[in-house]
């Protein structure tokens, strides 16, 4: 099943692979969705549930995808068919996911660039009005006729430059620069927040387990609330670890046979979870203080998605006085780096698929995908403005694309992959690939049980709950 062709790109070493995979995992999901969910589901309670899921379910899915990639030396588009011709359509479905995600992800990346540029201008011009803190700034920007597309196009172009340079000279070298900077800035902002007077209550709200989040209206323990917490953590884990997007299969195909898959996955989990927790330390205490100061309900202040990062946080930064411009610039630069590393990995999954299917050279494939991604990004970029009246299933284009990929396609791909490995090629095939880079597969027993029995059931629950939540079926909310 191995492809010994010398033309296949490869990482320079295990550290390079871990950094690349961690860079892919550390993205917008860590920086705006994790803090919101942690605040909603009992702080430390949610964090504990999330960590348990990461080291069990997340480990199983990531190990599977990386092993499939290294075993076949192919991207997700052709990897499944190489292992079993009957599962070729699964590769096609897995490829649709990054092709749909990367355009709207880059549009959001463009929003981040706009905010960074605005705050940077405020830093160098003390007399400038704090327009990014104004309530209508975000709505005015995303509703503009061209600006959202222009900034998104710039973001796509930067990703294309990195991808065109190749695995070692582009993706690997960019991560060697961006990842350390991301960690330093995240820890620096978190340290600044922790030192703010009055931040203690917000930190406690975030980190201390609050069992009230698991109680019902009658004050008794609620299995339904526990189920919502678990499902919320699983949904976050999928997005946060870049699972079922084809990324880990593609990155795994560049991995050396002598490198340890199991140890690499554990290190990626640590990096990703650490950044997610630090992101909460950056955001939740200051939003908590802002909510108390303004008399806003804490849950309302912790709005999910764009509302938290692009509306609430700028108001918080305004409370810092002139220091707020600098903090805002550093924060949005950090977010831009996180978004860029994830977008690069999504873009690479698309380019690698084109190369594997058509035998196209990397630069030509990058150029081709640039136009595809740019074209598809128009829908999300203009979906809040001139195309605002076009609402598939009652959603704007960006929300619709996010729903189709994250709530529907990703869980389906993950379920079928588990069935494929657990019952068709059997876990033994994955174990044999893992043992090429290490003496023993420590988590072998856990992996076998998870991939055959537990993972498909849990992911199926995520699929059902996400569809119900997004379509408003049964008043289901997470």
Which CATH number is 192's domain given?
A: 1.10.4160
Hey, how many other C-beta atoms are within 10 angstroms of the C-beta on 158? 18
pLDDT tens for residues 327-345? 999 999 999 999 999 999 9
User: What is the tally of structural domains in the chain?
Assistant: 1
- pLDDT reading at 426 higher than 60: yes
d(CA 164, CA 173) in angstroms, rounded, equals 13
Q: Can you read off the two tokens belonging to residue 188?
A: 């620096």
Q: Which of 198, 265, 244 is nearest to 98 (CA)?
A: 244
Task: Give a three-class secondary structure readout of 23-72.
Answer: HHHCCHHHHHHHHHHHHHCCEHHHHHHHHHHHHHHHHHHHHHHHHHHHHH
User: Are 413 and 93 contacting, i.e. CB atoms less than 8 angstroms apart?
Assistant: yes
What is the CA 342 to chain-centroid distance, rounded? 7
Do the domain assignments include residue 205?
A: yes
Task: Please compute the mean of the pLDDT values over residues 74-94 and round it to a whole number.
Answer: 96
The answer to whether position 77 is within a domain reads yes
Mean pLDDT for the stretch of residues 361-390 = 96
Q: Residue 264: is its pLDDT beyond 70?
A: yes
Residue 351: inside a domain: yes
pLDDT of 99 > 80? The answer is yes
pLDDT at 9 over 90: no
Q: Which domain holds residue 293?
A: 14-475
Which is nearest to 155 in space by CA: 114, 197, 95? 114
**Is 197 inside any structural domain?**
yes
Reported for 182-186, long-range contacts at CB under 8 A and 24+ positions apart, including other chains, are 182/26, 182/275, 182/334, 182/337, 182/338, 182/341, 183/275, 185/330, 185/333, 185/334, 185/337, 186/275, 186/278, 186/279, 186/282, 186/334
* Plot region of 393 (φ>0 → left; ψ -120 to 50 → alpha; else → beta): left
Residue 375, domain member (yes or no): yes
Q: Is residue 175 part of a domain?
A: yes
- Tell me: pLDDT of 359 over 50: yes
Instruction: Report the half-sphere exposure of 253 (CA within 13 A, side-chain side).
Output: 31
Residue 380 clears pLDDT 70, i.e. is over it: yes
For 133-190, the pLDDT digits (tens) are 666 889 899 999 999 999 999 999 999 999 999 999 999 999 999 999 999 999 999 9
Please report the pLDDT score of residue 36 as a whole number. 84
The model's confidence at residue 414, banded by pLDDT at 50, 70 and 90, is: very high
Q: What is the pLDDT of residue 474?
A: 72
Token pair recorded at residue 22:
């961690």
Averaged confidence pLDDT in the chain: 91
Joined together, the tokens standing for residue 387 give 């195309």
Q: Encode pLDDT of 210-225 as tens digits.
A: 888 888 878 888 888 8
User: Is 7 inside any structural domain?
Assistant: no
Looking at per-residue confidence, does 227 or 364 come out higher? 364
pLDDT at 353 > cutoff 90: yes
Residue scoring higher pLDDT (301 or 127): 301
Taking CA atoms, 40 is separated from 34, 74, 285, 286, 357, in Å, by 10, 40, 14, 16, 44
Residue 316: per-residue pLDDT: 86
- Find out whether 441 and 265 touch, Cβ atoms under 8 Å: no
Q: Tell me 256's DSSP state.
A: -
Q: Does the pLDDT of residue 126 top 50, yes or no?
A: yes
Q: Is the pLDDT of residue 468 over 50?
A: yes
Which carries the bigger pLDDT value, residue 403 or residue 224? 403
- When pLDDT is averaged across residues 385-393 and rounded to a whole number, the result is 93
Query: Is residue 280 in some structural domain?
Result: yes
Give the global pTM: 0.94
């Amino acid at each position: 099943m191995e492809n010994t062709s010398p033309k296949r790109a490869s990482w320079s070493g295990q550290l390079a692979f871990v950094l690349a995979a961690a860079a892919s995992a550390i993205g917008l999901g860590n920086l705006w969705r994790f803090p919101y969910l942690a605040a909603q589901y009992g702080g430390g309670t949610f964090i504990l549930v999330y960590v348990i899921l990461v080291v069990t379910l997340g480990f199983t899915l990531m190990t599977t995808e990386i092993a499939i990639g290294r075993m076949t030396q192919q991207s997700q588009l052709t990897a499944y068919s190489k292992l079993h011709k009957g599962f070729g359509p699964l590769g096609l479905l897995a490829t649709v996911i990054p092709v749909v995600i990367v355009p709207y992800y880059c549009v959001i990346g463009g929003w981040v660039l706009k905010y960074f540029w605005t705050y940077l201008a405020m830093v160098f011009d003390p007399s400038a009005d704090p327009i990014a803190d104004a309530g209508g700034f975000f709505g005015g920007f995303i509703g503009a006729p061209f600006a959202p597309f222009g900034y998104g196009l710039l973001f796509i172009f930067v990703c294309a430059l990195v991808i065109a340079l190749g695995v070692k000279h582009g993706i690997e070298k960019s991560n060697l620069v961006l990842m350390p900077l991301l960690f330093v800035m995240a820890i620096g902002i978190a340290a600044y927040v922790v030192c703010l007077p009055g931040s203690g209550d917000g930190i406690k709200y975030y980190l201390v387990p609050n069992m009230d989040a698991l109680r019902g209206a009658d004050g008794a323990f609620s299995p339904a609330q526990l189920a919502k917490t678990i499902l919320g953590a699983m949904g976050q884990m999928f997005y946060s670890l870049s699972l079922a997007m084809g990324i880990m299969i593609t990155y795994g195909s560049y991995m050396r046979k002598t490198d340890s898959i199991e140890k690499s996955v554990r290190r990626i989990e640590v990096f990703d979870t650490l950044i997610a927790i630090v992101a909460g330390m950056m955001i939740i205490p200051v939003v908590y203080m802002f909510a108390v100061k303004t008399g806003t309900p804490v849950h309302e202040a912790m709005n999910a998605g764009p509302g938290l990062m692009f509306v609430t946080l700028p108001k918080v930064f305004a409370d810092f006085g002139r220091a707020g411009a600098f903090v805002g610039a550093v924060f949005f630069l950090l977010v831009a780096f996180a978004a860029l590393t994830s977008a690069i990995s999504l873009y690479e999954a698309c380019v690698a698929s084109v190369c594997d299917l058509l035998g196209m050279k990397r630069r030509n494939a990058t150029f081709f995908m640039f136009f595809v991604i740019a074209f598809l990004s128009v829908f999300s970029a203009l979906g809040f403005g001139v195309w605002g009246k076009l609402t598939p299933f009652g959603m704007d284009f960006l929300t619709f694309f996010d729903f189709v990929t994250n709530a529907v396609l990703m869980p389906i791909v993950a379920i079928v992959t588990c069935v494929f490995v657990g019952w068709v090629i059997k876990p033994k095939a994955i174990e044999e690939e893992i043992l090429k880079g290490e003496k023993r597969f420590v988590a072998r027993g856990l992996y076998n049980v998870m991939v055959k029995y537990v993972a498909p059931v849990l992911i199926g629950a995520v699929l059902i709950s996400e569809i119900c939540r997004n379509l408003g079926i049964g008043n289901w909310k997470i």
